[in-house]
Amino acid sequence: MESLLDWDKQLFIFLNGYHTPFWDKFFLIYTNAKSWIPVVLILLVMLFRSFHWKQALVFVALIAIGVGVSDYVASGIMKPNFARLRPCHDYLNEMILVGNCGGKYGFASSHAANAFGIFMGFSLVFSENKRLFWVLLAWATLMGYSRIYVGVHHPGDVIVGALIGILVPQIIFYLYKKIKLKS
């Protein structure tokens, strides 16, 4: 386990080690949850244009539950129980911090869980739209990388957060389909 944590630290230092003023500003804005608002609004408009409003509301609820549960698993369960310090709280002198460090613990990344939850939820709804799939995957992946770039998460934090965000909405949609079939 120690070698895995050391590998994660070394990969973090490598990925976090390349900075320019342009990318510092870009990723500081990109990683802010407020920057997600236009993305989510566009997706909601697409959703309500593609489905009857009642079905669209069901999808909104399912996606919101998926993202909410993903966030809770990452922030409410994993962070306090694993208690792994964020890089900026653990070895600030060996890395570059852009912006604020945030909370004490970082495993797993709730930003990654939420971004990948949005990606997976809308990908499940628009399963035939491959272009949207790839655009949202790129958006979520860049969001995960932004957390490493600004210095607040290890790659392992982001990977596990992404896995949570991918799995939870699939479980929520699966349960919804099972319940709908029984009724």
pLDDT digits (tens, 9 = 90+) for 38-92: 999 999 999 999 999 999 999 999 999 999 999 999 999 999 999 999 999 998 8
As a whole number, mean pLDDT of residues 140-146 equals 97
Is the pLDDT at 116 greater than 90? The verdict is: yes
Q: How many C-alpha atoms does 107 have within 13 Å on its Cβ side? A: 13
Rounded mean pLDDT, 84-103: 92
pLDDT above 90 for 183: no
When the pLDDT of each residue in the chain is averaged and rounded to a whole number, the result is: 95
pLDDT band at 122, cuts 50/70/90?
very high
Domain of residue 23 covers: 2-182
Total domains present in the chain: 1
Cβ proximity of 86 and 102 under 8 Å: yes
What does the pLDDT average to over 131-139? 98
Mind listing the pLDDT tens digit for each residue in 4-40? 899 999 999 999 999 999 999 999 999 998 999 999 9
**pLDDT at position 93, please?**
87
Q: Can you tell me the mean pLDDT for 109-120?
A: 98
16, 95 contact by CB (below 8 A): yes
What's the token pair of residue 18?
A: 């390349």
pLDDT at 2: 79
Handedness of CA 33, 135, 144, 71 (dihedral sign): positive
**Does a cis peptide bond (omega within 30 degrees of 0) precede residue 140?**
no
CATH code, domain with 16: 1.20.144
Task: Give the closest residue to 69 by CA, choosing from 120, 135, 103, 30.
Answer: 120
User: And the tokens for 82?
Assistant: 């694993």
Q: Which of 68, 56, 66 is nearest to 171 (CA)?
A: 66
d(CA 38, CA 54): 23
**CB proximity list for 76: less than 8 A, separation 6 or greater:** none
Global pTM? Answer: 0.95
pLDDT at 180: 84
Q: Reply yes or no on whether the pLDDT at 165 is more than 80.
A: yes
